[in-house]
Structure 1
Amino acid sequence: MGKQPLKINAAEPESIKQILPKPLIIYSPSLLWNGFYFAYHRQLNLQVSQTCAPQHVIGIGTNNFQAKFNINGQWQRKYYESGDVGIFPANQITPAVEFEEELGFIVLCFEPEFILRAACESVSFDEVEILKQLQTHDPLIQQIGLSVKRELEISVFDSRLYVESAANMLAIHLLKRYSTQKIIIREYASGLSKQKLQQAIAYINDNLDQNLSLAQMSHVVHMSPHYFATLFKQSMGIAPHQYVTKCRVERAKHLLACDEEFSVIQVSQLVGFQSQSHFAKVFRKYVGVTPREFKKAL
């Protein structure tokens, strides 16, 4: 009887750390993004035995490297360029692998239910099976992985809505391109109805101080995250996460200008930022000056 694969679980960072000699550089809190997980690490001469995870796992190399996979008892060498992607479906065995140099990896993981929620109008559970890819070149996956990494390097907690939006886009891409069956994702071009748009905007404005999520907003109007995000952008001209950021900046300007003496730290919290430095950076991007400079000039 062959050796059993090592069980790992992206929802439990400690189980991932057991296969990595060096610690994770960036990783997401397990409950933050409703079934999507992110990690970034750099390793030297990494060796990993057979593994199996309950999530779909995507690996993106951030530099050129060589890898040897043990497939059916035979070692096979592959040459990867920076940005090449590996896709490993949930509950399937990932072969043992050895890396002979230093490498960086972005790891994106999805609970199977996350992918179903992303486009629940178009798919059912029985239809979804993702194809394993030991190596493929996919510019969209690479772009999404790098953009999420950049966002999390600024702030993990304040990036929830942006990351969830990117994850939903990636989930739809997986369904379209890597499903074992051809899945047609319904396309829409009419935007949200007036009533649903008003509901969504009201919910956003009433909860700007909260760590809003795409799942919450789409639930208010009884849609999947993908459907909601697509129609919202058609109606408003910008994506939900961009609209929320714009509203937060406008609310911050109002609070900084009002008669009550709110500190910059208080204002950042009142408009939903957990990191004051991230708040200052976003405010300056939209207004042209920092919150302190804006308040001082009044």
Structure 2
Amino acid sequence: MSMKQPLVIDYANWPKLLPSQPLLTSFQSGWNSIQLAHYHQSSIDFPEVSNPRHMLIIPLGHQAFDLEFVPEGHLQTISYREKDYASSCIQIVPANLPHRARSISTVQSIEWIHCYLEPTFLARIAYEAVNPDHVELLPTPKKVDLLLHHIGLELKSNLEIDGSGSRFYADSMATALSAYLLRYYSTRNHHFQKYENGLSKIKLKQAVEYIQSHLGEDLSLSDIANELGMSQYYFCHLFKRSTGISPHQFLIRQRVEQAKHLLKQPVQTVTTVTLECGFANQSHFARCFRQYTGMNPNQFRKL
């Protein structure tokens, strides 16, 4: 292993190591605890680096290729074939792990999703189960994992559709991702306490009232969890047990219900309703409104 210190490269500077820029990123979308980038590359070859965030890497496409991956000086050859894409392979590179990589086969295009997870966020999710000082993930060069693959694809899809309106959803997925990583990809066994009954009536009422009073704002999952004095993981878990839907789904439904009320007032324009109900833009508003009502805002207004 080289005695040189590895380059420390955070997510925003990762594109500088690669021959072409990402097709899609969340870097300007207001995401906090997790970031995403979608890459198409003809090759990969970068020196020893470390990333201050945990990296979940998801290969896409159908190109067969071979990759030299060298974590802490230990050479590993990772081969991807068409069956690996169908079976949902992933790779995990823990934060601050020195590593380098080089593609050793010629292909037209290598397609990846990179998800960058903040270690302090992972520790916050873990605090009710373990000592955050001992949260450490296992390096995983290649493994089939349907759920992690699905989370990466869902984050990419939501970012493509909603852009700056996807922060609450990203928070929710980062929470689910963190809990899953702690259970199955940690150096220690992490067990979360199980609750059977959901939120208390008082806590549920408090959560609902807080959401309803902040519909027009750029509300975050942590805002609600902090208001209730609990972790994001347990808030999401208990809220869904109480209501049957996730906090993100509940928020969108409440925004649509408020929009329906405002659209019945002739003085309210669609643009005004979009902003007052907290939707990122009119396209985001129209899509969510159609999802829950089966019609667009203008069609609803004519009823």
The TM-score range, normalised by the shorter chain, is over 0.9
Structure 1 residues 19 and 253 mapped into 2: Cα distance closer, same or farther (>3 Å)? same
Report Cα offsets for 1:30-77 as digits up to 9, x if no partner: 682332111111111221222101111111101243212346767643
SS of aligned partner of 1:61: strand
For residue 3 of structure 1, report the CA deviation from its aligned partner. 3.8
Aligned counterparts, 1:30-41, within 5 A = 32-41=30-39
For residue 233 of structure 1, report the CA deviation from its aligned partner. 0.7
Q: Which residue of 2 aligns with 1:214?
A: 221
Q: Which residue of 1 aligns with 2:44?
A: 46
Q: Which residue of 1 aligns with 2:138?
A: 131
Q: Which residue of 2 aligns with 1:281?
A: 287
The range that moved more, 83-92 or 138-147, is 83-92
| Aligned amino acid, residue 60 of structure 1 | I
Instruction: Kindly indicate whether residue 7 of structure 2 is the aligned counterpart of residue 2 of structure 1.
Output: no
CA contact (8 A) 2:69 2:76 kept: yes
Percent sequence identity over matched residues?
Answer: 37
Q: Which residue of 1 aligns with 2:94?
A: 89
| Aligned amino acid, residue 187 of structure 2 | T
**Count of residue pairs the alignment pairs up:** 293
| Alignment root-mean-square deviation, CA | 1.8
Structure 1 residues 119 and 125 mapped into 2: Cα distance closer, same or farther (>3 Å)? closer
The whole-number CA distance in structure 1 between the counterparts of 2:199 and 2:7 is: 46
TM-score (norm. length: structure 1): 0.93
The whole-number CA distance in structure 2 between the counterparts of 1:75 and 1:130 is: 20
The whole-number CA distance in structure 1 between the counterparts of 2:229 and 2:56 is: 29
The whole-number CA distance in structure 2 between the counterparts of 1:23 and 1:175 is: 31
Aligned counterparts, 1:1-298, within 5 A = 2-10=3-11, 13=12, 15-29=13-27, 32-64=30-62, 65-70=65-70, 76-80=76-80, 81-82=84-85, 83-98=88-103, 100-101=106-107, 102-259=109-266, 261-295=267-301, 297-298=302-303
The whole-number CA distance in structure 2 between the counterparts of 1:35 and 1:157 is: 15
CA contact (8 A) 2:183 2:190 kept: yes
SS of aligned partner of 2:280: coil
The whole-number CA distance in structure 1 between the counterparts of 2:76 and 2:120 is: 33
Runs of 5+ unmatched residues, structure 1: none
SS of aligned partner of 1:228: helix
SS of aligned partner of 2:103: strand
SS of aligned partner of 2:111: strand
Runs of 5+ unmatched residues, structure 2: none
| Aligned amino acid, residue 66 of structure 2 | Q
The range that moved more, 115-124 or 282-291, is 115-124
Structure 1 residues 193 and 47 mapped into 2: Cα distance closer, same or farther (>3 Å)? same
